[in-house]
């Protein structure tokens, strides 16, 4: 004779389905947001590179200290955007 499962393990199928749908919907939203952030980070990285290429001739007009600061900030922004585009938010 088979004994029924304990009361604490009995769940209604409708409740389980509703909970699963909520969890799956939340996970889908999180994944969609993460992919959106990755895409925006990659777009920003490309635009930063284009801006840097256009600004390169103008950098020669800046003082050495200003030029170094500009290049350091650009490298920092690029590294942050690359990390975001690879890992996500």
Looking at the domain assignment, is residue 17 inside a domain? no
Residue-averaged pLDDT of the chain: 85
Looking at the domain assignment, is residue 70 inside a domain? yes
What pLDDT is stored for residue 57 in this prediction? 79
pLDDT in tens, 28-70: 999 999 999 999 999 999 999 898 888 887 877 888 888 888 8
**Structural domain that includes position 73:** 35-89
Looking at the domain assignment, is residue 53 inside a domain? yes
**Predicted TM-score of the model (pTM):** 0.66
The mean pLDDT value for 8-16 works out to: 71
Separation CA 12–CA 8 (nearest Å): 11
Looking at the domain assignment, is residue 77 inside a domain? yes
Total of domains in the chain:
1
Looking at the domain assignment, is residue 6 inside a domain? no
Looking at the domain assignment, is residue 20 inside a domain? no
Looking at the domain assignment, is residue 12 inside a domain? no
Cβ neighbors of 80 (< 8 A, separation 6 or more) are none
């Amino acid at each position: 004779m088979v004994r029924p499962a304990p009361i604490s393990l009995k769940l209604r199928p409708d409740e389980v389905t509703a909970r699963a749908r909520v969890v799956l919907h939340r996970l889908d939203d999180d994944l969609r947001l993460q992919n959106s952030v990755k895409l925006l980070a990659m777009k920003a990285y490309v635009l930063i590179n284009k801006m840097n290429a256009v600004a390169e001739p103008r950098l020669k007009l800046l003082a050495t200290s200003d030029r170094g600061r500009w290049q350091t900030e650009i490298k920092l922004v690029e590294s942050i955007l690359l990390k975001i585009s690879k890992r996500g938010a």
